[in-house]
Amino acid sequence: MSLDFLTSKFIINEHDFKTPIIVTGAGGCIGSWVLSILTKSKIPCVGFDLSESKRRLNLILGDDAENVPWEKNDVTNYSELLNLVKKYNPSAIIHLAGLQVPFCAADPALGARVNVEGTINVFEACREIGLRRIVYASSVASLGMPPGGRVERNILWCL
């Protein structure tokens, strides 16, 4: 299967990234696709996930997934996260690690540790090394439903 569609819509200048981009939550659906786009764009990247499994990345990239460095780690462990960030001295961090709403509802304390404390840890590690490029993905679920209970494409979210 050709994956040209992964990079055809994205203009990524590989020369802007002299060191790797770390992707937290790399084993998830979005994280695996982000790593795939970066890999196909010849941007150095490192997968960071609580799991050792590259199953999703293997489904997308096949054998090329083995060329993507992978760090099994936890965003709630600040000292290990900081060591990893210092090790790679990344050009950017794309922070996708987090628990989805059903898991947070089932275990609110764990949800807060991962989604709040883990995010603070990522931001703090970036501050510690002076990294100014960070991408943080959240969820519309964090905003709740709009009036009328229907999400439309043209709705404006007031943050």
Q: Which residue would you say has higher pLDDT here, 22 or 101?
A: 22
Question: How do residues 77-99 score in pLDDT, each as one tens digit?
Answer: 999 999 999 999 999 999 999 98
Residue 159 lies inside a defined structural domain of this protein: no
User: Quick check: is 1 in a domain?
Assistant: no
**Domain hosting residue 55, numbered range:** 19-138
Domain count, the chain: 1
Q: Is the pTM of this model over 0.85?
A: no
8-state DSSP, 51: S
Residue 54 counted as domain residue? yes
pLDDT in tens, 13-53: 777 888 999 999 999 999 999 999 999 888 999 999 999 99
Q: Answer whether residue 58 is part of any domain.
A: yes
Residue 112 belongs to domain with CATH number: 3.40.50.720
